[in-house]
């Protein structure tokens, strides 16, 4: 499958007057996304509303970063900003005084990456500010800057630099890349970009800039913040509801990771899937069952970590990890005593749950599947 990750400028028709409108990129400097938007309007619009574009300004991150910053007297800056405001770390602007430092995972940072070495944990990306914008296209050209084909932009390793993180003790906090690498998706050559940046109809540059390609790659890079993507990734259904004996009933539910190349949920360990099963007799609730799928981390005192920033600062050991792996189907069985007479019925709900800290704790829940039987 031909994969296109970060799209460079397309070849322009000779003699197009709009050449003069393209602002040149200065080698040795980082270019604001606003400058990129002058030509790449559609791509910029998608990126601007993405979690990459909002990686620093997102209020959920802002609260966690503020707490981490205060609790470490600023020492957490390097760790947090390396992925959420990489320009700030690259330039040493850890106080984020330069507006471009606050642009999140900005266009020029990604397109200036020349290589990725995951062994360099503190800084896996090699960024070259030589005026060359790198991407997966071999036949691109631009009047504003040089363009180079970059195989690394088509690889999962490109994403792994931020979506894989372990503590100095080796305890995995984010393991999205590892989860993918051990899956059939990796063996089949289906990379992160295949799902999160698929090709779609669109224009890489403004129509007046010359010859256009018929497709672009999705730059909103949707994931766990997209209800549509979450709902397509997992599924659940009731397989069996019956009396095993006169006074005992059993409910079997299948929960499956049907369309995700990594575990569900992935990323922050504070995210979880919650399965609820309600058993009723003659319409009256008899018992509620609940099962949670999550990576659970403990601090040095053996206490469960519930806050996002503490998963980075204080995680010391793993209590449990029962998340659903790529392609995994799991049968959950629940049984209980019930009245000897009456009609059985059951309800099942599977939800993706995340409770980040804002000014107040808010619950974000995406319904994945519900069913009642019979």
The reported pTM is: 0.85
Q: How many helices (H) and strands (E) does the chain have?
A: 12, 17
Closest by CA to 165, choosing from 205, 121, 134, is 121
**CB count in 10 Å sphere of residue 105:** 22
Residue 27 has a pLDDT of 59
pLDDT, mean of residues 190-217: 84
| 199 pLDDT above the threshold of 90 | no
**Strand-pair category, 132-135 with 146-149:** parallel
Beta carbons within 8 Å of 226's beta carbon, 6+ residues apart: none
pLDDT tens by residue, 33-83: 999 999 889 999 999 999 999 999 999 999 999 999 999 999 999 999 999
pLDDT tens by residue, 123-162: 999 999 998 899 887 777 777 788 888 999 999 999 999 9
Query: pLDDT tier at 215 (50, 70, 90 boundaries)?
Result: confident
Beta carbons within 8 Å of 18's beta carbon, 6+ residues apart: 12, 206, 208, 209, 210
Cα atoms found within 13 Å of the Cα of residue 226, Cβ hemisphere only: 14
Burial zone of 185 (CB within 10 Å; 0-12 exposed, 13-18 middle, 19+ buried): buried
Helix (H, G, I), strand (E, B) or coil at 291: strand
């Amino acid at each position: 499958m031909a994969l296109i990750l970060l799209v460079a400028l397309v070849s322009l028709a000779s003699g197009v007057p709009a050449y003069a409108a393209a602002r040149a990129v200065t080698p040795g400097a980082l270019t604001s996304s606003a400058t990129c938007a002058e030509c790449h309007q559609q791509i910029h619009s998608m990126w601007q509303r993405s979690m990459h574009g909002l990686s620093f300004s997102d209020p959920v991150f802002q609260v966690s970063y503020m707490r981490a910053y205060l609790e470490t007297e600023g020492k957490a800056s390097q760790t947090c900003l390396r992925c959420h405001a990489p320009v700030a770390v690259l330039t040493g602007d850890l106080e984020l005084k330069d507006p471009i430092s606050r642009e999140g995972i900005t266009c020029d940072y990604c397109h200036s990456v020349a290589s990725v070495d995951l062994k360099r944990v503190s800084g896996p990306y090699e960024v070259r500010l030589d005026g060359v914008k790198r991407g997966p296209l071999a036949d691109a050209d631009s009047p504003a800057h040089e363009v180079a084909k970059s195989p690394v932009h088509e690889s999962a390793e490109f994403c792994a630099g931020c979506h894989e993180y372990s503590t100095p003790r080796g305890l995995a906090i984010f393991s999205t890349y590892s989860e993918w690498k051990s899956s059939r998706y990796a063996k089949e050559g289906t990379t992160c970009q295949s799902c999160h940046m698929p090709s779609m109809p669109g224009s890489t540059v403004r129509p007046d800039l010359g010859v256009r390609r018929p497709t672009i790659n999705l730059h909103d890079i949707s994931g766990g913040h997209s209800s549509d993507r979450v709902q397509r990734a997992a599924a659940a259904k009731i397989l069996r509801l019956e009396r095993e004996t006169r006074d005992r009933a059993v409910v079997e539910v299948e929960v499956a990771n049907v369309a995700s190349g990594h575990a569900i949920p992935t990323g922050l360990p504070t995210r979880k899937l919650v399965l609820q099963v309600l058993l009723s007799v003659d319409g009256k609730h008899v018992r509620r069952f609940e099962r949670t799928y999550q990576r659970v981390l403990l601090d040095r005192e053996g206490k469960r970590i519930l806050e996002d920033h503490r998963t980075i600062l204080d995680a010391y050991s793993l209590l449990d990890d029962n998340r659903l792996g790529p392609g995994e189907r799991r049968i959950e069985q629940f049984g209980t005593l019930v009245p000897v007479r009456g009609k059985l019925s059951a309800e099942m709900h599977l939800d993706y749950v995340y409770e980040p800290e804002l000014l107040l704790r808010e619950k974000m829940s995406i319904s994945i599947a519900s069913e009642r039987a019979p």
